Amino acid sequence: MNETLITIVITVLLILVTVIPYVRKFQKKENKAREKFKKMKISGLDEAMTMHPHIDLVQCIGCGVCVRACPEGDVLGLIEGKATLIHGAKCVGHGLCAEACPVGGIELMMAKPGRSADLPIIDENFESTVKGMFIVGELGGMGLIKNAISQGKKVIEHISKLPPASRDDMVDVAIIGAGPSGLTAGLTAHEKNIRYIIVEQGDIGGTILQYPRAKIVMTNPVELPIWGKLKFTEASKEQLLELWNNIIEKVQLKIETNEKVSNILSANNEFVLTTTTKQITARYVVLALGRRGTPRKLGVPGEERSKVTYRLIDAATHHDENILVVGGGDSAIEAAIGLASQNNNKVTLSYRKNEFSRIKERNRTHIDDFISRKKITILFNSEVKEIREDTVLLSTQNGELEIKNSYVYIFAGGELPNEFLKKIGIQMHTQVA
Ligand SMILES: Cc1cc2nc3c(=O)[nH]c(=O)nc-3n(C[C@H](O)[C@H](O)[C@H](O)COP(=O)(O)OP(=O)(O)OC[C@H]3O[C@@H](n4cnc5c(N)ncnc54)[C@H](O)[C@@H]3O)c2cc1C
């Protein structure tokens, strides 16, 4: 009898010794996730801006595989035993979480209207509601480099079967955007001897240029036209850009950079594109614009420095830094709050007007709180005059002011890709997460 009792006591003790630390560790992680979620909600960073995971809570078994699969870090967390999107703004939509989920409980969806909004209507050949105008890559709602590459190739394979341009002074296809989808479309056109031009508003590379982290993950190996298989599934941003530059040089790809396409008109089976410096006539157009849009620039000296950005992807990458946020809308305020919530960042918000107008009530309350706690310095009636290597020069009511600076975030509005699509007559449908 005694022996049985001892065995039971030992078994119970053993269970407690192994289970209690596990439960504690689990609770600690859950509390951390809950805290982070609360913080993200305050700064509006809980909501996704692009493709993001939608978790089916009925299917989710709370195993946490998706949380660990995400290379971005703490985008997902486990709360009440279920996977939860806690830092949506940091999600880049590569869907590694969905691939890793053992029960298929994660689907990728676009962001809510107002964050990212509607998707264009396209058919199985990527043709939009404007005949002869095609949409590929992230603009069509598909994230990931491998999808952009695959669609860039397929769209030109389809166009190569259509009647070519009727005149010598026009190209068969004008490709807008030199991200992975536009570059692959150009390579395929080159391979198929189609007359083409790629037009890019900035530099080649697309969204890749904006990555705050070094590593780029390809969920599957990809095959590029002319070049062949890319041997890596992981690379640094610099390696990928070097590869694109090598390909462009070797193939002599026809690209015009720093040429923004501002309008496209169509008539008689022809498209006339207006770019920064000229007009281009094409039989077909491939829109490979991505979803970042065209941010409005300040037009001040030094704005080309790499420390200047027009979108905040991950506030957590900044520690102990002097950061200037420019703008007075919700995006600027949310960014300033997000950055000021991180360890020891010194955040200054510069706005050209004397007060914020038309901002969300939630943001007004939070920014007032951050200003009163001296977590954010606010400079109303100020304008950036010059961005220097370690400082920024501002004009203020009290004269010129030079402040220490390591990063500048500018939120001065601009054109969203959907505004451009609507302007050129493309119809949209809505997909809401
Ligand atoms: C931070 C971050 C990390 C990511 N990490 C990964 C990853 O690890 N693996 C992965 O597979 N995917 C990742 N992605 C997603 C991937 O980068 C995108 O899905 C992919 O770049 C989309 O390619 P795209 O060619 O459709 O568009 P983009 O790469 O966005 O390129 C669009 C191009 O069009 C240009 N353009 C726009 N408007 C105009 C205009 N009017 N005139 C001329 N040019 C114009 C833009 O300047 C841009 O260069 C990440 C995304 C982000 C933001």
* Dihedral sign, Cα of residue 4, residue 5, residue 10, residue 16: positive
Strands 391-396 and 399-404 come out as antiparallel
The encoded tokens of residue 119 equal 């998707």
Q: What mean pLDDT is reported for the chain?
A: 88
- When pLDDT is averaged across residues 176-204 and rounded to a whole number, the result is 96
Residue 97 has pLDDT above 50, yes or no: yes
The reported pTM is: 0.74
CA of 262 to the centre of ligand 1 (A): 19
| Confidence bin at 112 (pLDDT 50/70/90) | low
* Residues 393, 395, 398: CA angle, nearest 5 degrees: 120
Three-state secondary structure call for residue 253: coil
Residue 433 has pLDDT above 60, yes or no: no
Atom of ligand 1 nearest to the CA of 204: 49
- When pLDDT is averaged across residues 195-215 and rounded to a whole number, the result is 82
The set of long-range contacts for 79-82, using a CB threshold of 8 Å and a minimum separation of 24, is 79/30, 79/33, 79/34, 79/37, 80/30, 82/55, 82/57
Residue with the larger pLDDT of the pair 425 and 52: 425
CB–CB of 91/114 below 8 Å?
no
Helices (H), 85-179: 96-100, 145-159
Sequence spans of domains, the chain: 2-109, 119-294+416-429, 308-412
* Residues 126, 131, 136: CA angle, nearest 5 degrees: 25
Lowest mean pLDDT, pick from 41-50, 199-208, 382-391 = 41-50
Q: CB under 6 Å to ligand 1: residues?
A: 92, 94, 137-139, 143-146, 148, 176-182, 199-202, 206-208, 210-211, 216-218, 260-261, 288-290, 292, 294, 313
Three-state secondary structure call for residue 93: coil
CA of 101 to the centre of ligand 1 (A): 25
pLDDT of residue 192: 96
CB–CB of 189/253 below 8 Å?
no
Spatial CB neighbours of 235, under 8 Å, sequence gap ≥ 6: 215, 216, 218, 243
CA of 293 to the centre of ligand 1 (A): 10
Report the first-to-last Cα separation within the chain, whole angstroms.
Answer: 61
Strands 133-135 and 119-120 come out as unpaired
| Confidence bin at 266 (pLDDT 50/70/90) | very high
Atom of ligand 1 nearest to the CA of 143: 19
User: Virtual CA dihedral for 264, 266, 270, 273, nearest 10 degrees?
Assistant: -10
CA of 311 to the centre of ligand 1 (A): 13
Atom of ligand 1 nearest to the CA of 205: 49
Residue owning the nearest CA to atom 18 of ligand 1: 144
Residue 36 has pLDDT above 60, yes or no: yes
* CATH number assigned to the domain with residue range 308-412, chosen from the 4 options 3.30.300.20, 3.50.50.60, 3.30.465.10, 3.90.1170.30: 3.50.50.60
Domain 2-109: state its class: alpha beta
2-109 against 308-412: fold identical: no
Say whether domain 119-294+416-429 belongs to CATH 3.40.50.10860: no
Closest of 347, 349, 320, 316 to residue 332, by C-alpha = 349
Tell me the sheet residues that pair with 216: 235
**Total length of the chain:** 433
